[in-house]
């Protein structure tokens, strides 16, 4: 059993950390305040081969593994969640379906542009009555003269409405009780993106509803075999949980970093507040929980890379780190005192960004169901 990262993984970690601290941290507060999509940062991430890091080089990807992807997401989220979720949703949800289930023609058309960050990918699953009950979708697609004609709506979709959005993979009923996945390119008539939501956090990330009204896409835009959509998106979500778990880990670590730095420089009663037992105890607990969670996240990634079952580990990691991110962000705000409630301090943004990690990519309650099922309960 080896708890050390390889030299290649250590190099990647330091590269992404330097990028996050040098390129993202200086603009994170402004992007959040102005609700601006970080287009320049996305382009730079693409130039570093990070927008497609877990995909083969033959498709334009970075040739990395799942652990490399988790490390990238973790380091970005230490500094800013909006940048991290843009990359995370694009990779796990937007690009993964094309790579896993696409034909060679579909991969050749889309993968190089997705992996380079030239365009962003999105995944349209959630509907008004189909969230945790993901199989209860009502969006429909029927064949007509060689085209799929799509009617329906999706909500809470990430990356679909930016200036560089390229396509969305959507789930639709292609026959009674038959769910399939279809590729829909941005600009297709009948496909419209609604106004972005006013969210608690992730302000520099794009999230909005989508509507499809007589939207026609070629029959060849079907992903895989008709009726396999349910199994396909469950596989995508299982992989995606590793990325979201890495986000929770990164946010918790970032909150600890900020809290520790503040506690060491903030003085009260003649000494740094880090010297007080009430504060040092919080820092110690945060650090211990983060290290335990890091092992969970990395284990899930390593299991996937080894070709072994990883769904249980991914759900455990996602459940643990989402809750930890909320707790660490709250403690970091508490340690900052009144300053923690001020937007100029990163912990304020982290506090707002943390809560969604217990909801998105499967709620905590869904993770508990997955874990219990994995235990044979």
Q: Which residues are catalytic?
A: 361
Is 98:109 a contact under the CB 8 Å cutoff?
A: no
∠ Cα 81 85 91 (to 5°): 150
For residue 267, list its beta bridge partners. Answer: 272
What the block records as the tokens of 163 is: 């200036």
Q: What is the DSSP string of 9-36?
A: HHHHHHHHHHHIIIIIHHHHHHHHHHT-
Measured distance CA(266)–CA(39) in Å, rounded = 36
Closest CA to 124 of 170, 91, 84: 170
Displacement of CA 341 from its chain's centroid (Å): 26
Task: List, in order, residues 6 or more apart from 140 with CB less than 8 Å away.
Answer: 150, 151, 152, 172, 173, 174
Name residue, tokens 């959630």.
Answer: 126
Q: What is the DSSP string of 253-269?
A: HHHHHHHHHHHHH-EET
What pairing do the DSSP bridges indicate for beta strands 191-193 and 207-218?
antiparallel
160 secondary structure, DSSP code:
S
What pairing do the DSSP bridges indicate for beta strands 165-175 and 222-223?
unpaired
Closest CA to 87 of 33, 31, 29, 38: 38
Closest CA to 251 of 127, 349, 169, 175: 349
Is 207:162 a contact under the CB 8 Å cutoff?
A: no
63 sits in the region (left: phi over 0; alpha: psi -120 to 50; else beta) called left
For residue 268, list its beta bridge partners. Answer: 271
Is 2:67 a contact under the CB 8 Å cutoff?
A: no
């Amino acid at each position: 059993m080896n708890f050390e990262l390889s030299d290649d993984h250590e190099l990647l970690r330091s590269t992404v950390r330097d990028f996050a601290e040098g390129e993202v941290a200086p603009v994170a507060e402004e992007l959040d305040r102005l609700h601006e999509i970080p287009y320049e940062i996305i382009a730079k991430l693409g130039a570093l081969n990070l927008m497609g890091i877990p995909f083969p080089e033959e498709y334009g990807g970075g040739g990395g593994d799942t652990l490399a992807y988790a490390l990238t997401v973790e380091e970005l989220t230490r500094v800013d969640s909006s940048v991290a979720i843009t990359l995370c949703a694009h990779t796990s949800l937007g690009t993964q379906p094309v790579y896993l289930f696409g034909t060679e023609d579909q991969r050749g058309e889309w993968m190089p542009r997705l992996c380079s960050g030239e365009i962003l990918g999105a995944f349209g699953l959630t509907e008004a009555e189909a969230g945790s009950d993901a199989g209860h979708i009502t969006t429909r697609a029927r064949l007509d003269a060689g085209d799929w004609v799509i009617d329906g709506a999706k909500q809470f979709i990430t990356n679909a409405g930016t200036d560089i959005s390229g396509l969305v993979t959507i789930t639709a009923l292609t026959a009674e009780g038959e769910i399939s996945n279809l590729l829909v390119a941005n600009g297709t008539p009948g496909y419209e993106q609604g106004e972005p939501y006013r969210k608690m956090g992730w302000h520099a990330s794009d999230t909005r509803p989508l509507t499809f009204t007589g939207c026609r896409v070629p029959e060849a835009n079907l992903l895989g075999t008709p009726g396999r959509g349910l199994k396909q998106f469950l596989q995508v979500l299982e992989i995606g949980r590793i990325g979201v778990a890495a986000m929770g880990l990164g946010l918790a670590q970032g909150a600890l970093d900020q809290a520790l730095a503040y506690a060491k420089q903030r003085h009260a009663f003649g000494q740094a507040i880090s010297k007080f037992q009430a504060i040092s105890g919080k820092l110690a607990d945060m650090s211990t929980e983060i290290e335990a969670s890091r092992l969970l996240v990395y284990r899930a990634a390593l299991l996937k890379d080894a070709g072994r079952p990883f769904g249980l580990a991914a759900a455990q990691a996602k459940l643990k780190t989402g809750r930890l991110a909320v707790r660490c962000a709250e403690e970091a705000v508490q340690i900052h005192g009144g300053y923690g409630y001020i937007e100029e301090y990163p912990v304020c943004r982290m506090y707002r960004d943390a809560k969604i990690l217990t909801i998105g990519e499967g709620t905590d309650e869904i993770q508990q169901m997955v874990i219990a099922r994995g235990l044979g309960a």
